[in-house]
Amino acid sequence: MIRIEDVSYEYASGKRAIDGVTLEFRPGTISAVLGESGSGKTTMLMCLGRFLRPQRGAITLDGKDVFELPEAEFRRKVGIVFQKLYLFPHLTVLENMVLAPVHALSRPSGDARHEAMEMLDRLGIADIAASYPAQVSGGQAQRAAIARGLLLRPEYMLLDEPTSALDANTTDAFAEWLADLKDVTNFVIVTHDILFARKLASDGVYLSGGKVLDSGRVDDMIRHVRAGQLVEAGGRRD
């Protein structure tokens, strides 16, 4: 279980992007992180992924402070795919995918390639295996980056706006793919897309101004906050 306890993060500019956040991401669930633009979602993910160190509070993984875990152990357990950091530009999509399993986990190259191709196939993007990242669409690169992260079988997989570059049909297929993988890893998904969150996630948290405005079951939460901030985002595709 990932537990965030009274965590605050302030940028050098003095902006407090996360302000006393306490929440849990339980294993066996897909969790959604919702909230308007600028509410601190990415900052929280950066803290969870150890790219930013909160000035206050604690983040633990199965009771252990994540900042105390050895780098290799932490990276094996927690995968993270940001919105804009995709793939190495000088490697093909397939080469990108097998890099870590083969070099960091010493998996046989043939096995890793086979598994990577299977994943790309299930995602409907097997045809881009031999392409370089610059030759594929943003949505395809994003899915390939997520598939690459999943090949390492992390306990937790944190995704920042994974559907931002996808159309509605592709989003639906992608949601099904993630749902199929929920036994493989525990997803924490930052998203603006309420419909996507509702389809996929059971639990969720709603951030506003760096604070937790609401948390609990996504369905209840959405009804709860609907009167306020969520109307705009939820109204689009409801």
Q: Which residues contact ligand ATP (rule: CB under 6 A)? A: 11, 13, 15, 17, 35, 37-43
42 touches Mg ion by CB under 5 A: yes
Closest to ligand ATP by CB, 41 vs 77, is: 41
Residues 6+ apart with CB under 8 A from 189: 30, 31, 32, 33, 158, 159, 162, 178, 197, 200, 201
Helices assigned H by DSSP within the chain: 41-48, 71-77, 93-103, 109-122, 138-150, 168-180, 194-200, 218-226, 230-235
Q: Residue 80 belongs to what H/E stretch?
A: strand 78-81
Name the minimum Å distance from CB 206 to Mg ion: 14
Closest to ligand ATP by CB, 34 vs 200, is: 34
Name the minimum Å distance from CB 104 to ligand ATP: 28
Closest to ligand ATP by CB, 52 vs 93, is: 52
Name the minimum Å distance from CB 160 to Mg ion: 6
Closest to Mg ion by CB, 124 vs 209, is: 209
163 touches Mg ion by CB under 5 A: no
Name the minimum Å distance from CB 128 to ligand ATP: 26
DSSP letters, 13-69, are TS-EEEEEEEEEE-TTS-EEEEE-TTSSHHHHHHHHTTSS--SEEEEEETTEEGGGS
142 touches Mg ion by CB under 5 A: no
Tell me which residue has its CB nearest to Mg ion: 42
